[in-house]
């Protein structure tokens, strides 16, 4: 059975890609054929090979199925801003049909599909659609990444409520330490465990530097996703 997961975050820059790579590593260690998918990405660089997004490249490297860049990231934009703004300016509409076709193509190669969103839950993809709308259309169970810092409890509760009100399953959540742990860190985590009605898959500690040799998957227990 193919397992598909949609990774969203409490905000932008909370570590969705770090968590997605950790999930891909853990799933690969568990014997799955893994594929990371970043259907829409803004904040990229122009290279000799074309536009490349760092988050999408990280997903590509951490997938154990060999994938082309286009398979991982069909919509890539240079400017680091909301996708609906740059896509309109570039006259390149973000089509749900193309996003879904890319996901379906990956399902023929892998049995663990890790889909990473952009920004937070309601990131706009056009004047009338959001990333949440596409996740709902695909009926993807959601994994929430919480960047542990002041304000994260409110943001986590708001996102969790939005996911559940959309009729999707909040399959689990990951605490990502986006900064060195502070005085109230333990209390933040205790409160999050209490208010988020889904299993905590693990805590990724603060890493001043992460490279391809960093073992992130060991921090997560993906067996909890079956609960």
Task: Supply the residues annotated as catalytic.
Answer: 38
Burial, 125: exposed, middle or buried (Cβ in 10 Å; 0-12, 13-18, 19+)? buried
Burial, 74: exposed, middle or buried (Cβ in 10 Å; 0-12, 13-18, 19+)? buried
Tokens at 30, concatenated = 């568990």
Strands 45-47 and 50-52: antiparallel
Q: Would you say 49 and 63 are in contact if contact means Cβ atoms under 8 Å apart?
A: no
Tokens at 98, concatenated = 């193309």
Q: Is residue 124 classed as helix, strand or coil in its secondary structure?
A: strand
Question: What's the count of helices (H) and strands (E) in the chain, helices before strands?
Answer: 8, 10
How far is residue 156 from each of residues 62, 120, 135, 151, 191, measured CA to CA in Å? 26, 11, 18, 9, 11
């Amino acid at each position: 059975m193919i397992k598909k997961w949609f990774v969203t975050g409490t905000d932008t820059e909370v570590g969705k890609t770090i968590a997605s790579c950790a999930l891909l590593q853990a799933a690969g260690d568990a014997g799955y054929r893994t594929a990371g998918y970043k259907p829409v990405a803004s904040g990229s660089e122009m290279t000799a090979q074309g536009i490349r997004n760092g988050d999408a490249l990280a997903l590509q490297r951490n997938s154990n199925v060999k994938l082309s860049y286009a398979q991982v990231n069909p919509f890539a934009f240079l400017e680091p801003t909301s996708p609906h703004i740059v896509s309109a300016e570039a006259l390149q509409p973000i089509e749900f049909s193309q996003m879904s076709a890319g996901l379906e193509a990956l399902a023929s190669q892998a049995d663990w599909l890790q889909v990473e969103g952009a920004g937070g839950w309601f990131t706009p993809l056009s004047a009338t659609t959001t990333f949440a709308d596409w996740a709902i259309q695909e009926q993807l169970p959601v994994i929430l990444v919480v960047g542990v810092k002041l304000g994260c409890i409110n943001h986590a509760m708001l996102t969790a409520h939005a996911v559940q009100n959309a009729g999707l399953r909040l399959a689990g959540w990951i605490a990502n330490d986006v900064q060195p742990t502070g005085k109230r860190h333990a209390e933040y985590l205790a409160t999050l465990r209490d208010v988020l009605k889904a299993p905590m898959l693990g805590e990724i500690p603060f890493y001043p530097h992460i490279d391809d040799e960093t073992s992130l998957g060991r921090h997560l227990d993906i067996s909890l996703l079956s609960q």
